[in-house]
Amino acid sequence: MATSSKIHLSASQRPEYYVAGLSQESADAASELLQENHEKHHIFFNRDGFHNHIVHHLLSLLALNATPAELKKGYDDNASYQRPPVSLEQSVVKDMHAPEKYKSYLGKEKYYHDFLVYFQDEIDKKGWENVLNEYMFQGDERADDMLVRMFAGFLHPIIHLGFGVEFKQPAIIAEALAQAAVHDRWMAPLFFEAEKAAKANPRKEPTETIAQFIDNVRADEKLSKAPHFSDSNKIRDGILKRAPAEMVKYASQYQITEDQLEEKTAEMINASVYFTGTSQNPPHAIKFDFFYMHCVNCSIFFSTFLAQPWLTSANKIRLLEWKVRNDIAMYVSRGSPRLLLSEITQYKQGKERENSWEEIFERVRTFNDDGHACKLIRALAHGEKVCAKYEGDGTEGFLIKGDMWRTLGNMAIDSVEAGGPHWVRSCGFEEAWRGIPERSAARL
């Protein structure tokens, strides 16, 4: 049985997207490796805040029907550079039960282990669903603060949470809460000011599609030029300093209602794939932007959140609105690149034929990865599944459709297998493409 400190996976589990045929041997292997990671490794592999992705990687591999040997290889590829957890301070854990003292430990990486034990204790007493409702969705100052931190670190805490909820693993949920607690909260003005403006100006007509929002922010010269390639953090130091009012204006205009939740969740998935897949720069080789890719990798979990009976519709709406506002800001932050749908529709594979999904999964299961490529491909396959019902009825906002999904899967695995760099970083800036080779004549 899975507990706040024990990881236990079963072949009978049905994650959000999975390949049929999961064996108990693979589930047991993943449980053992994830337990070792839980006990022996920090959530950051260095002191600069770089994230430990072993949970993401192994659960993605498991969902794609990896063998025990493939799971072990994925673990071994990434375990060697992890750091051990810092020592636990029981006095700090005790302090955290006092609200004012709890606040004093937030945002400080050295307290990750203490927060982990604190949230394990809370989950043991209250159950993980109640803990999430209390610490993320209650709507008070503490919960709102935690929700902001969940979206920090390029979505890593909420991705980690998504895996925990999807696979129903309280220990991973505790890790996600502790991880969020030690992240920063500088994105708070974007989320809270957008909510304030949205309440003051409720939409009387249906919200524009996310693709239309992307066109609008790209056409706004002050906003699209706010981030500079030299900014160390292009949202915080670019958008939120040089064009905060413009960013809040567009973000606040994105408003949805309860009856739209399913369709708008699918649209968010489609749009994140759209701007991630089409932001190419020919004649440079196909590369996916490292930061945009996280928007896609996170998208799968909003189908998971949508299905949770313990989460209110109001909080599902809030989560989705925040995700879309984050994605629009993320698009702008990388230089608002032009989006070339023809890069997908006219993609020429470097091999004799385009691979099936099964062949793509096989390739990524054996790729020497830290989890990013594996997550991306699973998220793309999931996107195809959830968006299919909206492709043929004239629904606006679904620009990725049909065979484009599998083509994107081929583009993703081809791009990382082609060699380093695996990703382009900040693709809307020409400087980002220096060092990215030109594509071969066969693909022009």
pLDDT in tens, 124-158: 999 999 999 999 999 999 999 999 999 999 999 99
Q: Tell me how crowded residue 343 is: count the other CB atoms within 10 A of its CB.
A: 18
- Give the residue numbers spanning the domain of 274: 189-443
Residues in the chain where the model's pLDDT stays below 70:
349-353, 393-394, 441-444
Please confirm whether the linkage preceding 282 is cis (ω < 30° from 0): no
> Rounded to an integer, what distance in angstroms lies between the CA atom of residue 233 and that of residue 186?
11
- Does residue 71 sit in the same domain as residue 127? yes
Average pLDDT, whole number, for the chain? 95
Per-residue pLDDT at 223: 98
The answer to whether residues 208 and 315 belong to one domain is yes
Same domain? For 349 and 221 the reply is yes
Last residue of a domain, one of 183, 206, 234: 183
What pLDDT shows up at residue 74? 96
Residue 441 has a pLDDT of 46
Output the pLDDT for position 444. 41
**Both tokens of residue 59?**
């659960």
pLDDT at site 443:
47
Distance in angstroms (rounded) separating the CA atoms of residues 374 and 397: 26
Beta bridge partner(s), residue 44: 51
pLDDT in tens, 41-96: 999 987 777 899 999 999 999 999 999 999 999 999 999 999 998 889 999 999 99
Split into its structural domains, the chain has a count of 2
Do 142 and 201 belong together in one domain? Answer: no
Residue 321's pLDDT is 98
174 and 233 within one domain: no
How many other CB atoms sit within 10 Å of the CB of residue 26?
Answer: 21
Q: Please tell me the predicted confidence (pLDDT) of residue 350.
A: 55
Instruction: Provide the pLDDT for residue 393.
Output: 67
pLDDT at residue 206, as a whole number: 81
* Residues 126 and 213 occupy one common structural domain: no
Tell whether 163 and 195 lie within a shared domain: no
pLDDT score at 180: 98
First-last CA distance in the chain? 53
